[in-house]
Amino acid sequence: MTTEAQLLRLLTWLSPAFPVGAFGYSHGLETAIREGAVTDAGALSAWIAGLVEYGSGWTDAVLFKAAHEAADKAALFDVAELAEALAPSLERRRESLGQGAAFLIAARAWGPQPLGGAVAYPVAVGAVCGAAHIGLEAALTAWLHAFAANLVSVAVRAIPMGQTDGVAVVAELEPIILGAAARAAMSSLDDLGSAAILSDIAAMRHETLDVRLFIS
């Protein structure tokens, strides 16, 4: 594919309109908002930056890269199994597997896909991008941007926070996303690791919230 065709496909696959139900998941952010840990644009930017550099955003980017470059189906299934095992909570597992399965179903519009079923979201997208020969770093950049943008959308609805502030957070995160994508493009599975413990705890505590807007 031409560079323009690759860009178009990434824009489609990682658009908020692509039917994976991303708008229904907060990745534990709803808990952080309810408990007062994230109350404004500054706190939101720091929360998402931490995830992209040190937390689930980084881990997913490493898994994405491994899936993108898997040598064969056996290697790809090993990455998928590892990704599922790394989910730190029940809701995070459901979030990732649900979106991954939905992505693979919708991606059939572009032909047969390298795997199917309930597969972790970063593995599903990474594998499909790899099979389509879409450049790794561009795909990682788009993936991390979509991850961050969805969390900003959660905050706009749940804090609530104005859309202008939300866009400003996305702009502020650009260097963080570009840096993480570049690092992940050079990563191996040995680089897996997360230090965003408060986010993981928030995801676990979400299961017991009395009233919830989001699934996770």
Residue with tokens 């730190």: 88
Decide if 88 is inside a domain.
Answer: yes
Q: pLDDT tens track of the chain, all 216 residues? A: 789 999 999 999 999 999 999 999 999 999 999 999 999 999 999 999 999 999 999 999 999 999 999 989 999 999 999 999 999 999 999 999 999 999 999 999 999 988 888 999 999 999 999 999 999 999 999 999 999 999 999 999 999 899 999 999 999 999 999 999 999 999 999 999 999 999 999 999 999 988 889 999
Decide if 67 is inside a domain.
Answer: yes
Select from 205, 203, 207, 185 the least CA-distant residue to 194: 203
Instruction: Please give the pLDDT value at position 1.
Output: 75
Instruction: Please give the pLDDT value at position 210.
Output: 87
Instruction: Please give the pLDDT value at position 116.
Output: 84
Two tokens at 154?
């959660």
Q: With both helix axes pointing from N to C terminus, report the angle between 41-54 and 136-158 in degrees, rounded to the nearest 10.
A: 150
Counting the structural domains of the chain, the total is: 1
DSSP at 74: H
Decide if 209 is inside a domain.
Answer: no
Decide if 194 is inside a domain.
Answer: yes
3-state secondary structure of 26: coil
Decide if 35 is inside a domain.
Answer: no
Measured between alpha carbons, how far is 68 from 177 in angstroms, rounded to an integer? 18
Instruction: Please give the pLDDT value at position 82.
Output: 97
Select from 82, 74, 143, 73 the least CA-distant residue to 114: 73
Decide if 7 is inside a domain.
Answer: no
Instruction: Please give the pLDDT value at position 154.
Output: 96
Decide if 68 is inside a domain.
Answer: yes
CATH of the domain at 144: 1.10.4190.10
Instruction: Please give the pLDDT value at position 8.
Output: 95
Q: 53 and 193 in contact (C-beta within 8 Å)?
A: no
Decide if 25 is inside a domain.
Answer: no
Domain that holds residue 52: 43-203
Half-sphere exposure of 12 (CA within 13 A, CB side): 12
Measured between alpha carbons, how far is 91 from 204 in angstroms, rounded to an integer? 7
